[in-house]
């Protein structure tokens, strides 16, 4: 059930808001990470399967500088082990009193081919992170050193992030508004439906700008679907 | 007591901060909507009378897709009924877990000539909203579908929004800092006073930049008012 | 123990995140002002010793317009008395329901040569503040008039700001991420160490971008320090 | 669809937690008023249909002592008009900075035969309220005078209270843990099911205290239901 | 303007809610300490003039065990210096992550004759505090050691506590609902008015319990005042 | 390093506040679970090693009634597997919108010999829980059914609870004020030191009640320690 290239491409073209609609139709009401924002608003959509890192609160006798330098350190291992094309999702318990990661670690993640990084905590060294070009989402900037608050506990277990369940290999999509989590087995269907809905909204936006009422247009009716299909087919012909 | 063209123009030239001063002088301490921000910082002031929409929490058996499509749906009616030149103010109980509106509905509002939209919740489809060009103020972006959290209950009743009372036809002004509510019967007086205060602040800003102390200048004294009036008269002559 | 020119220059070149590391090494875990953000992200670092202003809640019978105009008014005195090169730090109890300062007062502070202004509350008249060019940090924009919430109580006592202790003459550094407080007696040492760490991070960033693992590179090892020193010496030669 | 005497009696014997289970089975996930607590833990269940009162934020020019004394004052009218046997539910926008009601108003409500009072704000004069004997639920004690924060806007419209939708005539049940809202048309069914579940839990509690595992007992299986029915029939015989 | 014995006695007989009414009539809207609760609900009213202690955030290099033991330690000095009959009010910035005081310090305060202790933080060793018998008000129990979060900065300056301004010698009154601050110069008048209002409410409570409407009774009218005065005079005769 | 009977007994006699002091001396500043309260204030101290249960947010397609009834259900397994004498600590992410456990599950835990239960969420069916007699600590009562918000993910991993790190077999102590976490390897030492400190405080309390100053008594000096030892030896002789 790995994320196919076709699904990845479709998810690159749709908005997070539209995806929440498709998930609501399937009974999922809680898939959007509230309060999580992109560092940069000018990047394309972030799309990838979830690889997870879980933090618990730090403790002064455990989280010393010595453990921090160890090759066994779980936060560092996350950066060296997150598979290519995946999104590292960090459960920081919503706590931005210390950094979930900084520019060097995120630079390594980018160099190894990750698709993005998401946390419900925050990052430090924002200019450096922006230089890496990796899509990065956080709740609030968090400059203080990680061990002041966080201890990296384990990798690739199911976690919560910003109030949403994230199971390893769920599909994570981020745009300029935020991040949504799609259960792995629903990703293909949801991507197809969302792409069609996105086109319909493009059609409707043009109609509304031209003065048409939303009644009979949004939500779609059978009649407006028929109009849309003509519009869509013409459009697809025009843009080969 | 409809909003006159002259008052509307004056309110387009003054800042929200200045308006809170004028309201404080009239005994109103709670007129600024805390935490409500514009989507775009480059638009001119939003000015218009309030038309209100009230949300209550949604309930799964009431807020189905079927009701959402009905022409009686109150959220949709708000977009079709908000009078030209008015600002739609939505009481979302400060809850941004689901959208108070999205780009298509807001596009319709713009096409029908509304002056703006304000909520203490949030919107979805932000790029689409920015394309409409309608001034839009919110507390936090809210991508999930509306019926997850909100049920549109009624139109044009007195409401609270971001902790401020909003009566239908109160005058709503928004700038880059936020939104203030002016009781309808005070709007003309407040506009005149705020425009004069704005000019005085322009005078004082130049004086301060040139090295003058704030004592005797801000707040104004009789002497500084006299100086200001000379400055103002010269300025008005220079910019015909 | 006044802030030396050399230390001021070094602190102008390092990031706030790096400074929190140096302070953690000295046992200080709580030096970053959480939630405090710059108004402008394009200014150079703010560096200066702290001059403090303390607010308490206002009371209607004490905080009238008459007291506000008095030359004894403590908020106004702060603007006229903050020494050149220092940063005015305002304890607003984290309360942004009314302004800690506005553009005219901050313009005066700039004209008198202050290095910046920081509060855990907020400011009004943001466009005017940006025009002054003074680095200004706040938690949330606060347009309403000051006396609605704040009473200026006293100057240059130890205060708390955004949860951090600030003693007069502590060294305040702000960058695009936020503000850190350095105890006066540590400033020289911390500045030197942070500047070296900043150069090392520049070295490491380049290595990581070129594909090197973080293990053995970050945190630094003896071997990586040796490499770095060669890199640094070459770099210093190249940029005379 | 008025609340029948039989349903009222059944709802008097079941817990709020059990009722949330019955509502979840019917698809309702959001029926419990989070953070709302009874003033007294020793009263029997509060049961009654909802009569609603809606507050908006007060404004100094509208909410004067003069309006407060008027027979048209909506907060006062609520106390004089709430029908016998009903529960007055007050939408205070979760704001406990000023009282939603005090002992005299609540005393009047009791004298007129109301079944209880609920708010997501708070009350003043708690000892006096306890003396009335009326079941009263609030979020936090709120001693300051009502007009400091609240304006009573209207009666018996749909409202939100503590994040839950309340439609007039919904059935409100309160016990020592809090308050749940049951849609009017579900009340009879839910009451019957909850009473049976309550008896089953009594049976299971005894079994567990005697050392039995929860597996096969909770949730119930066909076998455990059969055991329960024997236990129940014996019990009903014993307590005529 | 010291607190007279007569005023102290009257304030011992009235409720905090009633006092907020009297203060609102004098234009003070913000005199009640929101969220501050008594440890014991069975003590008589706490009444006394304010003696203040101000905390700022602690810093690891300043707040060591050595400073804690010094006779100059400001928290300890507060306990040894708070005058007899006064209430120690501690500005803990609303932070209950560490104790504002514990049972031994509060025991000392009681032994020296203080009238009570109030903080917007919290206390540790609650059973010990209850044994001292001193009225104590806090926001939330705070067991951790003081220097983890707090540094005692100074004594008897104006402070904020739970969002309310407290000037030294303001009159502090606490009952089972919370704490109110009365400006020193208003205390005598407010006490007299509140005592009369309390008697009136006793009269009204009896009338309402007997079935009378609140209209014409609460708020009082001229006619109801006349009735009340007859009731009061009879009552005063009966209880010599 | 299992918890010895002697250490368990000592920890049964000391307060949580005293234990935070002993932990601070060992460099641990964050061991107290803020906001977590006992259901009953009349039980003896809760003492036991930690057995952990971790919740993540629920998802509608995973957390159905069917999974809830399975013998593999992790929440149920926790109740059947928590070893005798241990404390079940539940990481509920501070979320009390749905129950972490109810009376039947907690009854089973009690029947199997657990020492207590702790969560940073909340419980349902409080009267039933009190009947079991098991010490139970929570942040806020949470009546709604568990799967509305929580999914039980795994057992006996390191977790965070109310902001504190909890490793399996850490020693958990609860009294009327709250809960503290003691690292397993420190438990014996900390228990001894805390018991001595508790006796010293008993001595100091008596001295202070008799009118002695806190200076020279608290914190202890060499001289006061000598006095105390005489007092203690006499006391131990008197209570055999």
Q: Is the pLDDT of residue B34 over 70?
A: yes
Residues of chain D found within 8 Å of residue B57, distances taken between Cβ atoms: 30, 160, 163-165
Average pLDDT, chain C: 95
pLDDT number for residue F1:
58
CB-CB: which of C68, C71, C143 is closest to B20?
Answer: C143
pLDDT number for residue C1:
58
For F53-77, what is the mean pLDDT?
A: 90
Token pair of E104, please? 């031994």
Chain segment A59-117, per-residue pLDDT in tens: 999 998 778 778 889 999 999 999 999 999 999 999 999 999 999 999 999 999 999 99
**Is the separation of the CB atoms in F174 and F46 below 8 Å?**
yes
For D113-129, what is the mean pLDDT?
A: 97
Residue partners of C158: CB distance under 8 A and separation at least 6: C52, C165, C166, C167, C168, E56, E151, E153
Average pLDDT, chain B: 95
How close, in Å, is residue C216 to chain A by CA atoms?
A: 8
| Residue F62 per-residue DSSP state | T
Burial of residue A114, with CB atoms counted within 10 A of its CB: 0-12 exposed, 13-18 middle, 19 or more buried: buried
Q: Which residues of D touch F (CB under 8 A)?
A: 15-17, 20-21, 24-25, 29, 31-32, 34-35, 37, 176-178, 180, 201, 204-205, 208-211, 213-215, 218-219, 221
For C146-155, what is the mean pLDDT?
A: 97
ipTM at complex level: 0.95
pLDDT band at E151 (very low <50, low <70, confident <90, very high): very high
Q: Which residues of C touch A (CB under 8 A)?
A: 15-17, 20-21, 24-25, 29, 31-32, 34-35, 37, 176-178, 180, 201, 204-205, 208-211, 213-215, 218-219, 221
End-to-end Cα spacing for chain F: 30
For C32-43, what is the mean pLDDT?
A: 94
Average pLDDT, chain A: 95
Give the C-alpha separation, C20 to B239, whole Å: 52
- C69/B17 touch (CB, cutoff 8 Å), yes or no: no
Residues of chain B found within 8 Å of residue D22, distances taken between Cβ atoms: none
pLDDT number for residue F145:
93
Q: Is the pLDDT of residue B69 over 80?
A: no
CB-CB: which of F58, F151, F160 is closest to A93?
Answer: F160
Please, do chains B and C touch (3+ CB pairs < 8 Å)? Answer: yes
| CA dihedral sign, ordered D203, D205, D211, D216 | positive
Chain segment F168-178, per-residue pLDDT in tens: 999 999 999 99
Concatenated DSSP letters of B166-190: E-TT-EEEE-SS-EEEE-GGGHHHH
- Please report the beta strands in chain A, taking only residues with DSSP state E, as ranges in sequence order: 37-38, 46-57, 87-91, 116-119, 136-138, 150-155, 159-161, 164-166, 171-174, 179-182
Residues of chain C found within 8 Å of residue A76, distances taken between Cβ atoms: 214-215
For E130-157, what is the mean pLDDT?
A: 96
CB-CB: which of C80, C102, C126 is closest to B176?
Answer: C126
For D107-127, what is the mean pLDDT?
A: 97
For C7-29, what is the mean pLDDT?
A: 97
**Is the separation of the CB atoms in F38 and F135 below 8 Å?**
yes
For E9-34, what is the mean pLDDT?
A: 97
pLDDT band at D42 (very low <50, low <70, confident <90, very high): confident
| CA dihedral sign, ordered F192, F197, F198, F202 | positive
pLDDT number for residue B236:
85
- A143/C32 touch (CB, cutoff 8 Å), yes or no: yes
Give the C-alpha separation, E13 to E239, whole Å: 15
Residues of chain F found within 8 Å of residue E145, distances taken between Cβ atoms: 17, 20-21, 24
For D189-197, what is the mean pLDDT?
A: 97
pLDDT number for residue B16:
97
Concatenated DSSP letters of F132-162: HT--EEESS---S-GGGTEEEEEESS-EEET
E218 vs F182, more confident: F182
Chain segment E92-129, per-residue pLDDT in tens: 999 999 999 999 999 999 999 999 999 999 999 999 99
How close, in Å, is residue D205 to chain E by CA atoms?
A: 33
Chain segment C132-147, per-residue pLDDT in tens: 999 999 999 999 999 9
- A151/F165 touch (CB, cutoff 8 Å), yes or no: yes
pLDDT band at A240 (very low <50, low <70, confident <90, very high): low
**Is the separation of the CB atoms in A98 and A150 below 8 Å?**
yes
- A141/C180 touch (CB, cutoff 8 Å), yes or no: no
- F62/A165 touch (CB, cutoff 8 Å), yes or no: yes
pLDDT band at E236 (very low <50, low <70, confident <90, very high): confident
- B16/C102 touch (CB, cutoff 8 Å), yes or no: no
pLDDT number for residue A10:
98
Average pLDDT, chain D: 95
- F28/A59 touch (CB, cutoff 8 Å), yes or no: yes
Give the C-alpha separation, A199 to A232, whole Å: 7
Please, do chains F and B touch (3+ CB pairs < 8 Å)? Answer: no
pLDDT number for residue C42:
85
Provide φ and ψ at F164, rounded to 5°. Answer: -115, 140
Provide φ and ψ at F136, rounded to 5°. Answer: -135, 130
Q: What percent of chain E has pLDDT over 70?
A: 99
- D76/E214 touch (CB, cutoff 8 Å), yes or no: yes
Mutate to test the interface with C, among A98, A108, A140 (most CBs of C within 10 A): A108
Chain segment B132-180, per-residue pLDDT in tens: 999 999 999 999 999 999 999 999 999 999 999 999 999 999 999 999 9
Mutate to test the interface with F, among A25, A30, A91, A158 (most CBs of F within 10 A): A158
Chain segment F133-161, per-residue pLDDT in tens: 999 999 999 999 999 999 999 999 999 99
- B128/A35 touch (CB, cutoff 8 Å), yes or no: no
- C57/E30 touch (CB, cutoff 8 Å), yes or no: yes
Give the C-alpha separation, C76 to E172, whole Å: 31
How close, in Å, is residue B28 to chain C by CA atoms?
A: 10
Give the C-alpha separation, D63 to D61, whole Å: 6
Give the C-alpha separation, B197 to B224, whole Å: 13
Mutate to test the interface with C, among A95, A134, A145, A150 (most CBs of C within 10 A): A145
Please, do chains C and D touch (3+ CB pairs < 8 Å)? Answer: no
- Among D226, D129, D220, D137, smallest CA distance to D174 is for D137
pLDDT number for residue A1:
58
How close, in Å, is residue D102 to chain E by CA atoms?
A: 9
Residues of chain A found within 8 Å of residue B143, distances taken between Cβ atoms: 15-17, 20, 32, 177-178, 180
For F99-127, what is the mean pLDDT?
A: 97
Chain segment E50-82, per-residue pLDDT in tens: 999 999 999 999 998 778 778 889 999 999 999
- Among A97, A100, A50, smallest CA distance to A75 is for A100
How close, in Å, is residue C175 to chain E by CA atoms?
A: 22
Please state the three-class secondary structure of D33-80 as a single string.
CCCCEECCCCCCCEEEEEEEEEEEECCCCCCCHHHHHCCCCHHHHHHH
Token pair of A107, please? 């630079």
pLDDT band at B240 (very low <50, low <70, confident <90, very high): low
Q: Which residues pair with E76 in a beta bridge?
A: none
Q: Is the pLDDT of residue F66 over 80?
A: no
- A104/C219 touch (CB, cutoff 8 Å), yes or no: no
- Among B178, B226, B165, smallest CA distance to B200 is for B226
Mutate to test the interface with C, among A126, A129, A144, A149 (most CBs of C within 10 A): A144
- C128/B24 touch (CB, cutoff 8 Å), yes or no: no
pLDDT number for residue F157:
98
pLDDT number for residue D219:
87
């Amino acid at each position: 059930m790995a994320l196919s290239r076709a699904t990845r491409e479709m998810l690159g073209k749709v908005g997070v808001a539209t995806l929440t609609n498709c998930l609501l139709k399937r009974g999922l009401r809680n898939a959007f990470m509230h309060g999580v924002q992109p560092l940069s608003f000018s990047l394309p959509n972030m799309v990838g399967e979830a690889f997870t890192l879980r933090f618990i609160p730090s403790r002064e006798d455990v989280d010393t500088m010595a453990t921090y330098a160890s090759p066994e350190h779980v936060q560092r291992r996350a950066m060296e082990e997150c598979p290519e094309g995946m999104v590292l999702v960090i459960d920081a318990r919503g706590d931005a009193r210390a950094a979930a990661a900084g520019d060097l670690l995120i630079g390594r993640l980018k160099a190894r081919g990750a698709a993005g990084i998401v946390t419900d905590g925050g990052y430090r060294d924002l200019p450096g992170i922006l230089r890496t070009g990796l899509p990065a989402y956080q709740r609030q900037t968090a400059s203080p050193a990680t061990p002041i608050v966080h201890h990296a506990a384990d990798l690739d277990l199911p976690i919560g992030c910003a109030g949403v369940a994230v199971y390893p290999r769920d599909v994570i999509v981020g745009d300029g508004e935020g991040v949504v989590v799609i259960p792995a087995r629903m990703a293909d269907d949801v991507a197809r439906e969302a792409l069609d809905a996105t086109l319909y909204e493009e059609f409707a936006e043009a109609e509304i700008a031209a003065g048409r009422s939303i009644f009979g247009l949004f939500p779609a009716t059978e009649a407006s679907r028929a109009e849309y299909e003509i519009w869509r087919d013409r459009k697809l012909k025009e843009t080969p």
